[in-house]
Structure 1
Amino acid sequence: MKDNNTNYLNNPLIHKDRRLANADSDWVRSFDCTHMRPLIICRGPIRKEAMDVFEEMGINHYGILLSEKDSITYQSALAPELRKLTNPAHIHRVPDYTGADKEERAQRIQQIVNIAKNNGYNAIFAGYGFMSEDAEMVEGMEQAGLNFIGPCSFTQKSAGMKDQAKRTALETGVSVTPGVNNATSLALFDKYGKDGLEQCAKDNNLDVDFAACKDDEEKALALLAASYDAGIDIIVAADIGAALQVEAKRMLAEKPNNRFRLKAIAGGGGKGQRILQSANSYAGETLEEKVEKAAAKVPSLVLECLIELKTNGVGDNKNVLIEMNIDTTRHQEIQVVGNGEWCMTMGGRDCSLQMHEQKLLEVSVTEEELKDAIKVAEAAGKTAEAEQLQRDLLILEKMEHEGAIFGEAVKLDSVGTFECIVDGESHYFMEMNTRIQVEHRVTELCYKLKFTNPHNSDEYFIAESLVEVMVLIATHGTKLPKPERILRSKASVEARMNATNQALQPHAGGIIENWSNPIDGEIRDDQGISMHNPDTDVFMKYHLAGAYDSNIALLLTIGDDRTNTYQRMAEVLRVTELRGKDLATNLEFHYGLVNWFLGNNINARPTTRFIVPYLTAVGLLKKEANNLDVNYAYQQVCAQLLGNCGSDEEKSALQAVLARKQLMLTRPLEQLLAEPHLLAGWLSVNQPAYSMEGGKLSWKQNPVRILAETYHFLNMDYCESKPAAEMIWDHDHEILQQAIAFYDVLEEKLGTNNYGQLVELLAGNAPEGMTTEQWHGVQAAHAGYQAGSEILSLLAYIGYRTEFFELYVNEDLSINIPDRLTDETLQKAMAKVLVPPPVAKSDEILAPTGGMFYSCEAPGMPAFVEAGSHFNAGDPLYIIEVMKMFNKVIAPFSGTIDKVLVDLDGTIIKKGQPIFKITPDEVVVVETDEEIQARRKAETDDFLSQLTLTDA
């Protein structure tokens, strides 16, 4: 079968022969894993990766678990891995992976155990997400005699639960984020008193050894643990919310300008977390009044955290942490590997580029790359940059040291991630993910592990895949010697290709109808979606169900330094063609973002709050672009140029030139104005080409060359096999190539490639060796090639007019974010500019995206609205579950509900589907087509009137 999607495609660093059974050494052969028969109970790219790695290791007896929820929305949304795994005996199905509540989760665990036992599997691989960090599930597998390929239940309990992890961190001297991690204990004390814990145990028939506890906190924890085991609630979510509300008031009063984060202890990947806004963000005469308003949100936020994780059932551990949210933080994490005795690290990853707690672009952090970057910065005289890079190196060393200590303390016997936040010169431990991470490939592309016989250094084997390492540890445990990490590449970067719209909001349900093949140097993990039909070599369509998460693929590149790595990623994104029906992805966003860093400073240190202001800046570009009519602007530029002609003959010749060049100049402009993320990237990488002073735009580089590079930037290079609509047209290509050839010769003749100097020389007399007549011909050719290129100035002027360039990297690598881009009102408005809401009748409210409808906060609670309810702008109307997140849909205006059009909670809804019939308080005025056209012409005239064009 032709496989255009092998996880290791075109990656020269990865070797496929992992069969230790074929080694010459008895010692190496002793670590063979071919007897493992794993059942894969995860989904997404990691499932396909595990399948590939297992086969490379010689593990051929494996199966996969499918959830019916994978195709609950669209029956054709089958797991693409089935295109490879065609043996039905190795494909098993369950209703969903985890169950809706604690009782159903227990049933699902037993169901998975039965599937494994009845089908000859001896191991479980849970990858990332779902059940990979479920200590109860892991314990159930262990008790059933199944080998869990991942951290054991002891580690899961010690490190996987956020409250216990923080206690362990404090005990081992690891720096932690300031906050409260014992909300359940505090709620217990509030409800029963410290002296009433034993009576509580008696009343509920709970057997607790209070005498073995050293203090009240341990007594509370022991009592709570007994209640979880018994499946009863001695405290409920409301008790925890009340206890945390008290703590929040104290914390808000102490730090009124700080936001705080609520985190359910079993959360991960952004689920089960909510932000509590600062006290000073509320109106009030006194601080006490502001604190009360802010803290009033705590109980409902606690409930949201628990509901999103489905841990609000009877007997669930409902502990929720509250921590100081360091808004200037960078999110960094350390890859940790251990076998229960030894523990080591494999460098770091910067995951600060994220939104809604979902990571977008992740880049490696290695000692080798940082040391090189420091030398480069010092050689260039960039003192502040070198100092920041040196601080980053020291922080990395500290985090790796603490990560190894913590991993050893929790007896990590697989791979895990030591997650930290970095604030200035300080770092704080957040949590340990007791599983492999989505972004683990970023690490394994930088380092591999060499396992050497302690008694004979000539005997060794090398593991390049972290999935392989997980299998080795699960199979051979403490027999494995502590490995040596070996450098593979100094830098790597991963872009998460997600099903999201231009504003990065989840967009479920599209059909991928075509996906270009990976190019050299591209590493693509996409679940098998890119696999072609083995008989026809044709791409097979794939329907994105979106029941679980928005990820379509992981794209990775490597390099000798971060710049090289980002350049390769930009090239991958430039040529990737991903098309389909009702398909929205963040491909253009990634291309724009990567080019923003290439155009500003690749070593920039963004915080986790960078993306939303960046999107707001892109939205402002789009808002201005929407107001411009490119063809009308070109006509006006032509009219101005023709008005300057001295004779009818000259005017006629120029008119012919301008008419012939119109589409060559306007086609790429129209595409850039239609795609704001592409425009953002173009403006960023082309900053050296222009400048603006006093309203005058000056070109520092030849606009003809900029035009040619723009066609390349947009992947519109001339190619005979491409459809005409997707490339520069042949006659335009011919003109452009003639122009470039002309300037190549002219620059060599005049001895300069500086465009400003070239223009000055062209305005003067003929150079030596050229007649006046020849020189006039050169000047005429220059005028003809440049004619009409003034329209390109429109792009740069949009950047200046929207103050896009005020978002820049400082000398110390921090990013200057203008205050206006942090305004929430503007942020929301620009999100709507990037993705206008579905066109609705004035008496309807439509679904903004596909997903699952819920009328209320949680089962048993009243609906947000019902027929007859009046709502105000900003009120919650319903919840839509899409891509594993619960999103409250807020009313965009005030009105009254006439009829609810969705009857049942859990109903699948589609984008644009009417949800309510309403009567708005105010009549919505819709702009006519004629009014839109008139407005665009007026705005375009305003642009042109303020823009003074000049050559250099």
Structure 2
Amino acid sequence: MAHTSEKYTTNPMIHRDRRLGLSQSAWIRSFSCEDLKPLIVCRGPIRKEAMDVYQEMGITHYGILLSEKDSIVYPNALAPELRTLTDSKRVHRVPDYTGASKEERVERIHQIINIAIDNGYDSIFAGYGFMAEDDEFVGAIEKAGLNFIGPCAATQTGAGKKDEAKRTALSVNVSVTPGIDNVTARTLVKKHGTREKLLALANSDGLQCDQKVLADEKLSLEDLADHILYASYARGVDLFSIEELCAQVEAECAAMLKKHPQSRVRLKAIGGGGGKGQRLLGAALLTKKNASDADIAKAAADAPGLVREILNEVKANGIGDNKNVLVELNIEQTRHNEIQLLGNGDWCIALGGRDCSLQMHEQKLLEVSVTQEGLMAAIEEAKAAGRKAEVKALESDLKVLKRMEEESERFGKAVGLDSASTFECIVDRDRHYFMEVNTRIQVEHRVTELCYALKFVNPDDANDFFVVESLVEAMALLARHKKRVPKPQRFVRMNAAVEARLNATDASLSPHAGGMIRYWSKPIEGEIRDDQGISMLNPDTGIFMKYKVAGAYDSNIALLLTTGDDRKASYDKMSEVLRATTLRGSDLATNLEFHYGLVNWFLGRNVMAKPTTRFVVPYLTLVGTLKEEANKLDPVYAFLQMKKHYAKMVADAYADQPEVAAKESKNMSALLDRKGTLIIRPIERLLGDPHLLSGWLSINTKNFRIDNGKVVWLRNPVGVLNETYEYLHMNHRPHKPAAEIIWSHDNELLQQALRFSRTLRENFGLARDEYFTLNEIVNKEEPQGGFDADTWQQIRSAHFGYEAGLELLGMLFLVGQNTKFWDLRVEEDLEITIPEYLNDTDLQARMKKVLVPPPATKADEIVAACGGMYYAQEAPGMPAFVAEGMHFEKGQALYIIEVMKMFNKVYAPFSGTIDKILVTSGDGTIVSKGQPLFKVTPDEKFVEVDVNALEKEKRTLTSEYLKAVL
């Protein structure tokens, strides 16, 4: 595999002219796409990106599909793209994009195709929505004589269906995850048992099977059953019941759990993506060294319910639907890496990798580029620094990346890939396993295109070429010109890029729909923001237009991207972007602070660290312990007690001079009062948000140590305080409201302290990190540095005065120390050590409630945990979870809430009896967070919290903290 590493020199935020039809070269003009007429049938940031790219390519005849949920069902959720697309003839309305059932889906496919034909469109772009990898949809488009801007139907079938993709991978020697890809075939064999019975089944139902296949006696029973099943899908009949499928999956799970002790099993729909249609079972076995058959059977017994949830979530529970579910071993300590692919059916090229391991609920959160050039640069840097273990780890990553790129290209050619797709793998140290192919452009595609550009060269003239920087543009180019498009060379634009998904989730990363965005700060220099146009100002007034974050789709609000010459530079810029981003609204919750804390956690450790897909939950649990500990502290009380401490110091120093003691005590009190808000405001902010505290503790790891229970500063606390204001985005900015920044008199005092400290340090020739040495010098009563006695005493007094009170910042270090914050660490070989206690599921559940306390409720009711669509039963036709008069146990399923495209089963927080069900409108009813759902009688009475006792406890613990910092 030959990939050029030539540096592409254009600014990564500035693209070249995309109007190839304007070129002086006839060869380049022949690849113009200006006559392409696409209908955009997706939504979200990719729709806005496609609109922008098509406009820049000179494509003027494009339109968009708009669902009722985008414009009618949810007030103030009108697609913001309409602020620029003002021609109503190019906006086409449908009830929804995919339909709620198989019948509706088929109806919608034909409706979309008719819209395209009736309005003069010749192609359809489905972005990264699920219709983008629906082979039935793509096949219907092709049959109607339209272009699909994406992989063709044949590729969709061969690569997009997870079971077919796995079989293809095995056939071209690509390593795959251990598991079962034909559980439906096994279900059919279990039901009918013999070849004769299977053949009789095919004949009796009049299925259109290939007679050559049926006559092949060498074909295994499972392969024969698989062939018959595909014929049943075409006919629209079921050959087994969901109950029979569930029983087979349960048996397969039990066998896999027995074969692989202390592992979990992943159940995965063959369609879906973005975490949709996936469930894990067997969590209880992870900590059991010798699980009994009864333990395994109990774990496997969860399979039927999970299968129903999966089929319901991907809408594959109708008659005639392909209900195959992959049953795979869950590789526990894994990273999620993926390779960006592009092909034209003849050639296929890999465009580097992305690490998507930082995820939760199978939803990616932070995605980082992984390129050969970036890894080679990191290896050289680690070699120069003598970090041998890190060098070895990075060299291993480079080898794995090269293998994944080579295998992905081989797979792409095998399935005739003719557009953009993603080859997804799980990586376990120096091994990797193919997981699936997403036959669509990915949400995180920009991470790749910011690192690589594509150079298409005239085969007859090496000096005749054009450059493509956008994968959306490349997809349009391939859809329009197909196999005429020559294989490109990839060019390095930047060595690193990172993307943070700004989602509508609360502090525990649970979906939080229904909030209203009323203000969004402007992007800063170097920030790339893909947000569907939400932050676009009113074109007439220049004022931000409020936007409702509805729960109809996924939780994503925006994609925030940054680049750099190396990963640290891209993380530094991302930290700057997140710090400068301000979102305000009503009932609005986002993961902005989570991302800020997480990015700074890596900056404080090592950005080249190797988190696994199991990192985020323990990390969140640790952040929860920070909040739990922080909730016990009272910084105002601490400040008042500190004043008493200083008063006693003065009194003791002038014990034999009462008048001097009184005067000095008054001066000290006035000094500390002047510094009160300067010190307390940032401490309160950090104690109030554990995600911010996590990031702050991480970047200040080397600024202190604890000796015999006492905090010892290794950096000047004045400098740390200044950086804390910057970290919190509270530094002095005259145009901002006083409530958001340092107060002017506090800033004046802080700047005086900084100037004094810098001058003093420079006078003694000390570096910034030699504060400990400076302190030892200043503590000497004998004049130092050539100063006379009076001047030296003034210097010592000024030093003492500027730093007095800043000891309180040390309380934050103690919060980290007492919660074992630094035990979650990056080792020299870049592996991350997760303390075992952070994997405790009970602690994880408790810390989730600490991060986001349940909504206020009366003792006799259960309220909605979050906003979304309420369902009383697991699937259509199934009995309701609860009924009036029924007793329920703690942990029993009560209802399902569908929010941000995921189905979340909600369990009882306590035992009791259902007195009345308050949701009477039926399944699909929209409920809001905190809305009463059931009137109940709890088995045990709730005990109210004693507020006075809590306050006393806070002051006691605060006093203990003070002993360690004063």
Tell me the secondary structure at the aligned position of residue 249 of structure 1: helix
Counterparts of 2:268 and 2:211, CA distance in 1:
29
Superposed displacement of residue 281, structure 1: 5.0
Per-residue Cα deviation, 1:703-739 (whole angstroms, up to 9, x for no partner): 1111111001000111221101001000000000001
Partner of 1:920: 938
Structure 1 position 215 matched with structure 2 position 219: yes
Partner of 1:689: 703
Counterparts of 1:728 and 1:219, CA distance in 2:
73
Counterparts of 2:712 and 2:66, CA distance in 1:
59
Q: What's the TM-score once normalised by structure 1's chain length? A: 0.97
Superposed displacement of residue 756, structure 1: 0.7
Bigger drift between 14-23 and 27-36 goes to 14-23
Bigger drift between 782-791 and 207-216 goes to 207-216
Partner of 1:328: 333
Superposed displacement of residue 69, structure 1: 2.4
Superposed displacement of residue 684, structure 1: 0.2
Partner of 2:422: 417
Structure 1 position 140 matched with structure 2 position 131: no
Bigger drift between 429-438 and 65-74 goes to 65-74
Structure 1 position 499 matched with structure 2 position 465: no
Tell me the secondary structure at the aligned position of residue 262 of structure 1: strand
Distance 1:453 1:132, change over 3 A: same
Partner of 1:82: 82
Superposed displacement of residue 11, structure 1: 6.1
**Given the alignment, which residue of 692, 713, 721 partners 1:678?**
692
Counterparts of 2:41 and 2:857, CA distance in 1:
42
Counterparts of 2:71 and 2:57, CA distance in 1:
31
Contact 1:637 1:790 in 2 (8 A): no
Structure 1 position 839 matched with structure 2 position 856: yes
Partner of 1:3: none
Distance 1:790 1:334, change over 3 A: same
Partner of 1:589: 594
Counterparts of 2:511 and 2:71, CA distance in 1:
17
Per-residue Cα deviation, 1:432-465 (whole angstroms, up to 9, x for no partner): 0000000000000000111111111121111100
The 5-angstrom pairing of residues 129-528 of structure 1 reads 129-195=129-195, 196-212=197-213, 213=216, 215-216=219-220, 217-277=222-282, 280-281=285-286, 287-528=292-533
Partner of 2:657: none
Contact 1:256 1:278 in 2 (8 A): no
Counterparts of 1:316 and 1:398, CA distance in 2:
36
Partner of 1:556: 561
Distance 1:431 1:12, change over 3 A: closer
**Given the alignment, which residue of 752, 766, 773 partners 1:757?**
773
Structure 1 position 719 matched with structure 2 position 733: yes
Distance 1:631 1:282, change over 3 A: closer
Bigger drift between 280-289 and 464-473 goes to 280-289
Counterparts of 1:551 and 1:656, CA distance in 2:
50
Structure 1 position 644 matched with structure 2 position 662: no
Contact 2:285 2:291 in 1 (8 A): no
Tell me the secondary structure at the aligned position of residue 902 of structure 1: coil
Bigger drift between 62-71 and 251-260 goes to 62-71
**Given the alignment, which residue of 718, 730, 735 partners 1:704?**
718
Superposed displacement of residue 194, structure 1: 3.0
Structure 1 position 940 matched with structure 2 position 940: no
**Given the alignment, which residue of 819, 826, 837 partners 2:843?**
826
Amino acid in structure 2 at the alignment position of 1:902: V
**Given the alignment, which residue of 843, 855, 871 partners 2:872?**
855
Partner of 1:4: none
Tell me the secondary structure at the aligned position of residue 552 of structure 1: strand
Distance 1:491 1:630, change over 3 A: same
Bigger drift between 725-734 and 67-76 goes to 67-76
Counterparts of 2:735 and 2:163, CA distance in 1:
59
Partner of 1:49: 49
Counterparts of 1:943 and 1:836, CA distance in 2:
26
Counterparts of 2:674 and 2:915, CA distance in 1:
57
Partner of 1:661: 675
Per-residue Cα deviation, 1:499-554 (whole angstroms, up to 9, x for no partner): 00000000001111111111110000000011111222111111111211100000
Contact 1:262 1:273 in 2 (8 A): yes
Per-residue Cα deviation, 1:44-96 (whole angstroms, up to 9, x for no partner): 10000000000010001111111112356522211111111111111111111
Counterparts of 2:480 and 2:578, CA distance in 1:
39
Partner of 2:809: 792
Partner of 2:102: 102
**Given the alignment, which residue of 711, 728, 732 partners 2:742?**
728
Superposed displacement of residue 279, structure 1: 6.9
Q: What's the TM-score once normalised by structure 2's chain length? A: 0.96
Tell me the secondary structure at the aligned position of residue 659 of structure 1: helix
**Given the alignment, which residue of 793, 808, 811 partners 2:828?**
811
Counterparts of 2:84 and 2:862, CA distance in 1:
43
Counterparts of 2:706 and 2:458, CA distance in 1:
65
Superposed displacement of residue 247, structure 1: 1.8
Tell me the secondary structure at the aligned position of residue 274 of structure 1: strand
| Count of residue correspondences | 939
Distance 1:752 1:282, change over 3 A: closer
Superposed displacement of residue 937, structure 1: 1.7
Distance 1:718 1:453, change over 3 A: same
Tell me the secondary structure at the aligned position of residue 644 of structure 1: helix
Distance 1:284 1:13, change over 3 A: closer
Distance 1:194 1:564, change over 3 A: same
Bigger drift between 508-517 and 534-543 goes to 534-543
Counterparts of 2:186 and 2:74, CA distance in 1:
46
Counterparts of 2:955 and 2:863, CA distance in 1:
31
Superposed displacement of residue 926, structure 1: 2.2
Distance 1:744 1:96, change over 3 A: same
Amino acid in structure 2 at the alignment position of 1:164: E
Contact 1:178 1:323 in 2 (8 A): yes
Distance 1:806 1:286, change over 3 A: closer
Amino acid in structure 1 at the alignment position of 2:955: K
Contact 2:262 2:288 in 1 (8 A): no
Contact 1:210 1:219 in 2 (8 A): no
Unaligned runs of 5+ in 1: 1-9
Per-residue Cα deviation, 1:675-707 (whole angstroms, up to 9, x for no partner): 110000000001111111321111000011111
Amino acid in structure 1 at the alignment position of 2:710: K
Partner of 2:917: 900
Superposed displacement of residue 12, structure 1: 4.5
Partner of 1:774: 791
Distance 1:406 1:783, change over 3 A: same
Counterparts of 2:359 and 2:719, CA distance in 1:
35
Contact 1:627 1:936 in 2 (8 A): yes
Contact 1:799 1:805 in 2 (8 A): yes
Bigger drift between 758-767 and 465-474 goes to 758-767
Distance 1:281 1:598, change over 3 A: closer
Partner of 1:605: 610
Counterparts of 2:51 and 2:639, CA distance in 1:
55
Contact 1:616 1:821 in 2 (8 A): yes
Contact 2:186 2:248 in 1 (8 A): yes
